[in-house]
Amino acid sequence: MARMRLNGMQELTRGLDQRARGANRDVQNIIRKHGASMNRRMAKNAPVDTGNLRRSIQLNLTNNGFTATVRPNANYASYVEYGTRYIYPSPYVRPAFYAEQELVIQAFRNMMR
């Protein structure tokens, strides 16, 4: 009967855990950086009458930093974005999202190299 012995499994496991923690930090940094950038883009693109809409835009990081949510909290925000039958739309959320989307994808591609 043949026997096989594996040496260094604990070191291998420890090394893989360290790499995974480093990758998690990299992902969290990308999410935080691009969430803040999207927040700035939305605020810059938001039309200003009283400034309430611009001030209502907030960034929330959840899920241990793996999720960034940027949204306006003004109750009329969707009317400005999509318009009504009385006012033309002034998109500020979608352009910011689409511009930042490409940058996030590129950041993750660079991280995987």
- Model pTM score: 0.78
Question: What token pair was written down for 33?
Answer: 């950086």
User: What gap in Å lies between CA 35 and CA 21, rounded to an integer?
Assistant: 21
Contacts of 63 by beta carbon, 8 Å cutoff, 6+ apart = none
Where residue 10 falls among pLDDT bands split at 50, 70, 90? confident
- Give the single-character DSSP code of 65: G
Strand partners, 75: none
pLDDT digits (tens, 9 = 90+) for 50-89: 989 999 999 999 998 889 999 999 999 999 999 999 999 9
- What is the distance between the alpha carbons of residues 32 and 63, in angstroms, rounded to a whole number? 12
Percent of the chain with pLDDT over 70: 95
Alpha helices in the chain (DSSP H): 9-45, 52-56, 77-82, 93-112
| Cβ–Cβ < 8 Å for 38, 70 | yes
